[in-house]
Amino acid sequence: TVTVIVDETTTLAQLKTITNSTVYKAKFDTVAPATANTTLEGTAKEITAVLNKFSTPYAGKLEVTGKYTLADLVALNKLLHDDAVITLDNDVNLSGKSADIAAALSNVTGYAGKITLTDKPTVAELEAINKVATEAIKIPTDTALTGTATQILLALKDVEGHKGNITVSGTPTSTAAAD
């Protein structure tokens, strides 16, 4: 096994050279890179190809350049630690199943592309997508949603055209001030 220590000067090209020169899977010295200033830059396919040669998840910053697909982002996110942060140079419109889009955007910050969900999402999937989406999200209009009032509000934040049933669970509380 090759152990790689990532610092602020580490590039994607260097990691590619290291992983191409060994038949073993490499691993990062720690789950998190040595510095928060490390940013690996490249296309989603390039970054995925390099990180796929590591046995440990990457937890640093990534800058995805060029075009990408939903499948590219899903594959990339599978190789990342929850602390990883992805910045997308281009906000490509995404359309697909709710679980795939939630997985694709799980480490992304400030996604500004259009999102169209092709199946009926859960409240949790909509909440996850809404955490990063800055544009309207289209869902099938007859999607039924169930959750607490807070969950429903977070789930519907950027959704447009929802006409499905909503079931609010939990015990209502009053926050009215006394006179």
Higher local confidence (pLDDT), 84 or 29: 84
Average pLDDT across the chain, whole number = 87
Q: Find the mean pLDDT for residues 95-114.
A: 95
Handedness of CA 28, 83, 34, 68 (dihedral sign): positive
List the alpha helices (DSSP H) in 24-169.
44-51, 70-77, 98-104, 123-130, 149-156
Q: Is the pLDDT of residue 126 over 60?
A: yes
| Cβ–Cβ < 8 Å for 31, 55 | no
Confidence of residue 104 (pLDDT cuts 50, 70, 90): very high
Query: What distances in angstroms separate CA 14 from CA 9, 20, 31, 166, 175, one per listed residue?
Result: 10, 10, 18, 51, 57
CA atoms of 84 and 78, how far apart (whole Å): 11
Q: Find the mean pLDDT for residues 68-77.
A: 97
pLDDT of residue 177: 54
Torsion of CA 41, 46, 50, 51, to 10 degrees: 70
Considering the entire predicted model, what is its pTM?
A: 0.83
* pLDDT tens-place string over residues 78-89: 999 888 999 999
